[in-house]
Amino acid sequence: MESSKNLTSLPEEGQEDDNHEEQEGKDTRKPSVSAFASVPHRPPSAQSSLQKYSPLDWKEFFDREEDVCIPNSNDVFHVYMAGSEGPVVFCLHGGGYSGLSFALSASKIKEKARVVAIDLRGHGKTSTENDLDLSIETLSNDVLAILKEMYGDSPPAIVLVGHRLYSFCKLICIGLTMFPIFKHGGSVAVHVAAKKALCSLAGLVVVDVVEGTAMASLVHMQKILSNRMQHFSSIEKAVEWSVKGGSLRNIDSARISVPTTLKYDDSKKCYVYRARLEETEQYWRGWYEGLSEKFLSSPVPKLLLLAGTDRLDRALTIGQMQGKFQMVVVRHTGHAIQEDVPDEFATLIVNFISRNRIGPHGVESRAHYCFRFYSVSSIDASQCKKLHTDELRPIATPKQVFKIIGLLRSNEDDLESKLCKLKSKTIYYIGGSGSSSLSSKKRSALHFFQWIRHWQPELECNSDICSLIIDNCGRLGDYDAMQCLLNDFSLKSLSIDNKAFGFLPSTGTTETLLRKSTQRVIDILCEVGGTCYGTGVYSLIEMFSDLGSFDMAKFVIEKTERRLSFYNVLIKEMCRRCDFKGARDMMDEIREAGCNPSSQTYNYIISNLLKNGKNADAYELFQKMKESNCSPDALTLRYLYVTLVVEASWMLLLSF
From CA 320, how far away is CA 160, in angstroms rounded? 20
From CA 338, how far away is CA 334, in angstroms rounded? 10
Tens digits of residue pLDDT in 44-72: 555 566 788 899 999 999 999 999 999 99
Beta carbons of 555 and 518 less than 8 angstroms apart: yes
Cross-strand pairs, 312: none
Tens digits of residue pLDDT in 158-216: 999 997 643 333 333 323 333 444 445 678 888 898 888 888 899 999 987 555 545 55
Position 129 pLDDT exceeds 70: yes
Q: Between the CA of residue 627 and those of 597, 623, 655, what are the distances in Å?
A: 12, 6, 15
Q: Which helix or strand (DSSP H or E) is residue 204 part of?
A: strand 201-207
Average pLDDT over residues 241-248: 82
Candidates 3.30.930.10, 3.40.50.1820, 3.40.50.300, 3.30.499.10; correct CATH number of 58-359? 3.40.50.1820
The C-alpha angle with vertex 170 and arms to 169 and 173, in degrees rounded to 5, equals 140
Backbone φ and ψ for 267, nearest 5 degrees, come out as -70, -35
Q: Which residue type does 614 have? A: K
Backbone φ and ψ for 439, nearest 5 degrees, come out as -65, -40
From CA 163, how far away is CA 98, in angstroms rounded? 11
Q: pLDDT over 90 for what percent of the chain? A: 28
**Tally of CA atoms within 13 A in the half-sphere of 222 that contains its CB:** 5
Tens digits of residue pLDDT in 489-533: 888 888 898 888 988 887 666 788 899 999 999 999 999 998 899
From CA 5, how far away is CA 128, in angstroms rounded? 33
Cross-strand pairs, 201: 158
The verdict on pTM exceeding 0.85 is: no
Residues spanned by CATH 3.40.50.1820 within the chain? Answer: 58-359
Cross-strand pairs, 303: 205, 326
From CA 101, how far away is CA 473, in angstroms rounded? 56
- DSSP code at position 116: E
Q: Classify residue 411 as left (phi > 0), alpha (psi -120 to 50) or beta.
A: left
**Tally of CA atoms within 13 A in the half-sphere of 488 that contains its CB:** 14
Nearest-CA neighbor of 396 among 443, 350, 431?
431
Which of the given ranges, 68-72, 95-99, 383-387, 504-508, has the highest pLDDT on average? Answer: 68-72
Position 4 pLDDT exceeds 50: no
Beta carbons of 263 and 272 less than 8 angstroms apart: yes
Position 249 pLDDT exceeds 70: yes
Position 324 pLDDT exceeds 60: yes
- DSSP code at position 267: T
Beta carbons of 225 and 160 less than 8 angstroms apart: no
Residue 526 CB neighbour total at 10 angstroms: 14
End-to-end CA distance of the chain, in Å? 61
